[in-house]
Amino acid sequence: MKHKGIICGILAAVCYGTNPFGALPLYEEGVNTSSVLFYRFSMAVMILAVMLVIEHKSFKVSGSELKTLGSLGLLFAASSITYYQSFRFMDAGIASTILFVYPVMVAVIMATFFREKVAASTVTAIILALAGIGLLYKGDAGVSLSPMGVLLVMVSSLTYAVYIVVVNQSDIRMSSLKLTFYVLLICMLSLLAYSFTSSDLHLMLPPSPRAWFYACWLGLVPTVLSLVLMTTSVHEVGATPTAIMGALEPLTAVAIGVIVFGESLTLRLSVGIVLILSAVLLIVLGKRFHLRTISHAVTAIVRKTWRWKS
């Protein structure tokens, strides 16, 4: 792997994991989902447009490029809408952790449609991921998470996985800034159309300076920085390795949920996170390490987590 791709992948994951930090305060001030997303993407588009002008980059695209960009924009819009809607049904940390099954989905898509070899470690990773999701589905008090919330996050995960694969497999060749600009422009227009599908989804202005700050944060950090860095990483090291480095996304989101928003870090959630991260770790390290060695490491981590929570 190239060092540039690894660094960009890590930074992209951390930036994307800050989504709840911007979204939840806006929800607390009464801003609806469509408005949060619209301002996130509209501000990101303006930031990217200014950057392209400063760097004297051309905005011209061909017809074939526009088709690919349109597909990417719609995929990212669908992923964002379902992800943000899930915050209304479950804790942000749990939603962000379930979202992290997308690297497994990327690996499966690449194996199924692009003939990447399916190793035993990949199969084991899928089993671990499903087990982790099962643990996340029930709280320690025996209260189930909303099925709608789980469904929304799984749809978000799948569309994001397809987005990464398309970026990797398409023959489109342009700068990461330009590609991200058009993807987010199409995404913003899709969100604008989505906002008119119901009277409950009307656009509303951020009601306070604090709300404007978080709207700007969403536009810059988990959108512009994350997507530009992610696109660079995909081009440098490929779709699956980039998805694997997304391990820092749920960790970032859970840390924000616990530290900033006071969400609880339960034993069940802790073990679920360990299993899901282990699943993704197997995808990238399965060919280098014996499965038994990794299973022993996972068991040791789970035992330590149990002692810590007891």
d(CA 179, CA 181): 5
Q: Could you tell me if residue 262 is left (phi over 0), alpha (psi between -120 and 50 degrees) or otherwise beta?
A: left
Q: Could you tell me if residue 105 is left (phi over 0), alpha (psi between -120 and 50 degrees) or otherwise beta?
A: alpha
d(CA 70, CA 90): 31
The whole-number pLDDT of residue 305 equals: 47
Q: What amino acid occupies position 35?
A: S
The secondary structure of residue 60, as a DSSP letter, is -
The whole-number pLDDT of residue 46 equals: 92
The whole-number pLDDT of residue 204 equals: 80
Q: What amino acid occupies position 81?
A: I
In the numeric block, which tokens belong to residue 12? 């992209």
Helix 92-99 × helix 19-28 angle, to 10°: 140
Q: Answer whether 284's CB lies under 8 Å from 241's CB.
A: yes
Model confidence pLDDT, tens digit, residues 38-54: 888 888 999 999 999 99
d(CA 57, CA 274): 43
Phi, psi for residue 138 in degrees, rounded to 5? -115, 135
The whole-number pLDDT of residue 68 equals: 92
Q: Answer whether 136's CB lies under 8 Å from 98's CB.
A: yes
Q: Kindly report the pTM of this predicted structure.
A: 0.73
The whole-number pLDDT of residue 309 equals: 46
SS3 content of the chain, % helix, strand, coil (to 5): 80, 0, 20
Residues of the chain predicted below pLDDT 50: 1, 139-140, 290, 301, 305, 308-310
Domain ranges in the chain are 3-309
CB within 8 A of 189, min separation 6: which ones? 73
The whole-number pLDDT of residue 86 equals: 87
Nearest in space to 51 (alpha carbons), one of 39, 43, 40: 43
Model confidence pLDDT, tens digit, residues 151-161: 999 999 999 99
Model confidence pLDDT, tens digit, residues 203-254: 788 889 999 999 899 989 988 999 889 888 888 878 877 877 776 676 677 6
- 249 Cα distance to chain centroid: 7
